[in-house]
């Protein structure tokens, strides 16, 4: 057996401290039942399987991953505690090394406004696919891994009326960027403050959001939503970032990280019927993604991969890893979504189409029992020929199975 290093022991100790902290917090709240009008617990069990395809320079092996997430809510007339605790066991980590506090947040209502303090995943998005304004959570509809959402450290003060909401927020957290098919993970500390304004006016609602971040500097966002009759809802959403990190390719040399401004713009619509059918169509442009010219340059270099010698070969493989770890892969995207709800059953189909003729399909089925549990399964495929980005990913398909129980 391979001996544990000092780093391994440090990881295990941190995991045990987190376990003691969450356990102590839950015990403290549970032992005071008279102070809480409502207590609710939820257990989520998830299993995922990834089938890889052979891609030079990237990890394409198959692997399984299991996760167990326990959530607890404690609430009275003015306050609420939420704690989420995650155990994760995958190909490269043991159960002990992946015990984390996913969320731990406290909300309180006063005469003057509401407070939120703690670690929480929070989204201001009104869309289904790209979710540009999901600034404090990771959208799951396009996720290339089974990694669960992890909260940000947040301090938010909000004032409400019947028609609008004004919020001041500050955040500080380590932003984890990790994909299961990549051999590395990176962390950056993100800190900032900002303002949010939300307005509801009859059949329309809109919001403005401005944040100043330690790394991206100004982030300016807006969204609008309007209801047309009983069946149609139209929405739009946009976010502009003053500084976005991008990797610039060099001829057979290490890529250079640069910073540039970028914008993500989304428009879409939802049509729903009284019989339970729902259709969503969304188009978005993402300025963080590479242009066709940049992808073509990478393809030209990859064509010479086998004939290269070290260190040029390793440098090109590193460039591939960094490029496929980007938050956005293609600039032009079209998302089509259908779902149907009847008697607790909910089948769904997602199609994500890109401008290079690549696509991702997700077929899902969910069943919600009348009482306390929910079961779902999803099958996701990454398709396209060798000239498309999704056809070059070392993931061919993924399978997710999830069981949720509330008590």
How is residue 137 written in tokens? 């959570």
Q: What does residue 57 show for φ and ψ, rounded to 5 degrees?
A: 90, -5
Q: Among 28-37, 39-48, 244-253, 301-310, whose mean pLDDT is lowest?
A: 28-37
Q: Where are the beta strands (DSSP E) in 296-394?
A: 332-340, 345-354, 359-368, 373-383
User: Does residue 152 register a pLDDT over 80?
Assistant: yes
The dihedral region occupied by 95, where left means phi > 0, alpha psi between -120 and 50, and beta the remainder, is alpha
User: Does residue 159 register a pLDDT over 60?
Assistant: yes
Helix H or strand E encompassing 369? none
Q: What does residue 22 show for φ and ψ, rounded to 5 degrees?
A: -65, -45
CB neighbour class for 184 (10 Å; exposed up to 12, middle 13-18, buried from 19): exposed
CA dist 342 and 51 (Å) reads 32
**Band of residue 13 on the pLDDT scale cut at 50, 70, 90:** low
Asked if residues 372 and 42 have their Cβ atoms less than 8 Å apart, the reply is no
Q: Which residues 6+ apart lie within 8 Å of 7 measured at CB?
A: none
- Give the pairing type, strands 204-213 and 99-109: unpaired
Q: What does residue 349 show for φ and ψ, rounded to 5 degrees?
A: -145, 125
Of 368, 205, 364, 338, residue with least CA distance to 272: 338
Give the pLDDT confidence score for residue 198 in this predicted structure: 97
- DSSP summary character for residue 372: S
Q: How many CB atoms lie within 10 A of CB 380?
A: 22
Residue, of 305 and 256, whose pLDDT is higher: 256
80 pairs with which residues across the strands?
75, 107
User: Does residue 309 register a pLDDT over 90?
Assistant: no
**Band of residue 14 on the pLDDT scale cut at 50, 70, 90:** low
Most confident of 195-199, 317-321, 329-333, 379-383: 195-199
- Residue keyed to tokens 């032992």: 31
105-137 residue pLDDT tens: 889 888 889 999 988 889 999 999 889 999 887
Asked if residues 246 and 227 have their Cβ atoms less than 8 Å apart, the reply is no
**Band of residue 184 on the pLDDT scale cut at 50, 70, 90:** very low
In sequence order, which ranges of 265-349 are alpha helices (DSSP H)? Answer: 292-302, 312-324
How is residue 59 written in tokens? 């990890």
Q: Which residues 6+ apart lie within 8 Å of 9 measured at CB?
A: none
Most confident of 43-47, 107-111, 297-301, 351-355: 351-355
CA dist 87 and 84 (Å) reads 10
Three-state DSSP at 300 gives helix
Q: Among 14-23, 146-155, 173-182, 229-238, whose mean pLDDT is lowest?
A: 173-182
Q: Among 70-84, 202-216, 286-300, whose mean pLDDT is lowest?
A: 70-84
Q: How many CB atoms lie within 10 A of CB 108?
A: 12
CATH assignment, 6-406: 2.40.160.100
Mean pLDDT of 160-169: 92
């Amino acid at each position: 057996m391979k001996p544990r290093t000092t780093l391994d022991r440090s990881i295990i100790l941190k995991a045990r401290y987190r376990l003691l902290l969450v356990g102590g917090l839950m015990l403290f709240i549970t032992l005071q039942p008279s102070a809480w009008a409502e207590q609710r617990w939820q257990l989520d069990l998830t299993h995922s399987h990834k089938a890889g395809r052979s891609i030079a320079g990237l990890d394409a092996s198959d692997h399984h991953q299991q996760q167990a997430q326990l959530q607890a809510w404690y609430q009275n007339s003015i306050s609420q505690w939420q704690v989420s605790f995650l155990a994760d066991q995958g190909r490269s980590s043991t159960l002990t090394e992946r015990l984390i506090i996913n969320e731990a947040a406290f909300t309180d209502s006063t005469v003057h406004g509401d407070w939120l303090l703690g670690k929480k995943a929070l989204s201001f998005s009104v869309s289904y696919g790209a979710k540009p304004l999901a600034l404090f959570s990771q959208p799951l509809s396009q996720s290339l891994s089974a990694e669960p959402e992890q909260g940000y450290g947040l301090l938010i003060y909000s004032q409400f009326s019947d028609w609008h909401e004004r919020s001041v927020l500050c955040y500080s957290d380590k932003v984890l960027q990790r994909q299961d098919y990549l051999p590395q993970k990176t962390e950056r500390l993100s800190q900032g403050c900002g303002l949010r304004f939300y307005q509801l006016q009859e059949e329309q609602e809109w919001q403005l959001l401005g944040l100043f971040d330690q790394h991206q500097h100004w982030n300016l966002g807006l969204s609008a939503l309007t209801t047309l009759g009983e069946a149609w809802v139209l929405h739009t959403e946009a976010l502009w970032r003053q500084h976005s990190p991008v990797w610039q390719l060099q001829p057979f040399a290490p890529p250079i990280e640069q910073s540039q401004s970028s914008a993500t713009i989304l428009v879409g619509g939802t049509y729903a019927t009284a019989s339970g059918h729902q259709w969503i169509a969304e188009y978005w442009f993402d300025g963080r993604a590479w242009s066709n010219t940049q992808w073509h340059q990478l393809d030209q270099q990859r064509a010479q991969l086998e004939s290269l010698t070290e260190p040029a070969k390793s440098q090109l493989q590193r460039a591939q890893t960094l490029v496929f770890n980007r938050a956005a892969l293609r600039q032009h995207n079209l998302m089509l979504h259908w779902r149907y709800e009847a008697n607790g059953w909910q089948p769904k189909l997602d199609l994500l189409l890109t401008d290079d003729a690549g696509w991702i399909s997700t077929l899902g089925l969910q069943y919600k029992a009348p009482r306390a549990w929910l079961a779902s399964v999803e099958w996701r495929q990454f398709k396209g020929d060798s000239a498309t980005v999704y056809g070059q990913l070392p993931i061919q398909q993924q399978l997710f199975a999830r069981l949720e129980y509330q008590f």
